[in-house]
Copies of this chain bind each other. A is one copy, B any other.
Amino acid sequence: MQPSKARTRRVTLRDVARAAGVSINTASRALNGKPDVSEATRARVQAVAAQLDYRPNQVARGLRQQKTATLGVVVADLANPFFAEVAEGIERTAATEGYSIILANSEENQHREEQAVRTLVERQVDGILITPTQQSEATVRYLMQRHVPFVLVARYFEGLDVPAVVNDDREGARLGVEHLITQGHREILFLNGPPYNSSAKLRLRGYQDALEAAGIPFRPSLVINTDARSSGGYAAIQQALASGVRFTAVACFSDYVSFGAIRALRQAKLRIPEDVAVIGYDDIDLAAIVEPALTTVHIAKTRLGQVAAHMLLGMIGSSSTDQPQVGLTVLPPQLVIRESS
């Protein structure tokens, strides 16, 4: 008996083949369910493989097949439940379809995003899903130039004809503001996100749409750009209060911004919704739990990820030449009225 190695070598296809008394080729065909292998040998090989607890080396397979069954995912902010849920949706459909995901977090930083994408390309992912920071179009152009299949999630570039799955931001914002107007509000503060963000741009339009439909003139002084964080909402309300602008309602870029806004409003002894109505956007699960429960625009976050992943897998599957005709998929938002408005 040989002295056992401290670290036993992994069992390879060669080991299985040898133990089963067949060629390595036959072993491969047997295990992969390929035709032209007798049931007898197939069964024998499978038995041996199971007994040896053989696991195919996906790295070798990936190299050989020029296909890794891996999707690259770069999200803008993993700590934000919105993106975490999107990622969850992506992961779920990927797993269901036999794909793994390599996840990167850009932290809303353009440089990190570009770096992440380069890494993913080096790792030969079959496709990439990305919620772009949108501080530049560099990432998208790089991917197109490299002919790497990709789809944008939650955000997209208006000028570029690239595959994307988004929420109907304009309609969602319009819905929310319309609701506020229906409640009798005419002076509606809008705490928006960063101006380069496509959702922010579109939600601003939705805000304007709703005003226009009600014959309320648009006043730029009522919109404040924030960094889309709760601290941004908090600061924006303080700023608004200090500046003396009058408002009876505030529509926010996200639930997070809402939470910050609500906190600032309360510190100013304003009651919600009696003194000021507040609506958010996203409908993260905490929105329904906090007090007052937040009126907000629901986005099917998990679904967003699932649909995007399916779209990407479709692009990968159809081995035809570059097909940019996949286009934009828009998911409908949904207003959910709770207690804050």
Contact = CB atoms under 8 A, between A and B. Distances in A.
Interface residues of A, number: 54
A78 B84 contact: yes
Contacts of A55: 118, 121-122
Contacts of A73: 103
A87 interface: yes
Contacts of A123: 58-59, 70, 100
Nearest to A78: B88
Interface in A221-266: 230, 259-260, 262-263, 266
A79 B68 contact: no
A60 interface: yes
Contact of A289 (B92, B230, B321, B322): B230
Nearest to A142: B53
Q: How many copies does the complex hold?
A: 2
Nearest to A258: B289
A231 to B, nearest CB: 9
Contacts of A59: 59, 62-63, 68, 123-124
Interface in A36-93: 55-60, 62-63, 68, 70, 73, 78-79, 81, 84-85, 87-88, 91-92
A118 B122 CA distance: 24
15 contacts: A59-B59, A59-B68, A60-B63, A70-B123, A78-B85, A81-B84, A87-B103, A95-B104, A100-B102, A100-B123, A230-B285, A230-B289, A263-B289, A286-B286, A291-B291
Please give me the 3 A-B residue pairs with the lowest Cβ-Cβ distance, nearest first. A6-B321, A84-B84, A103-B103
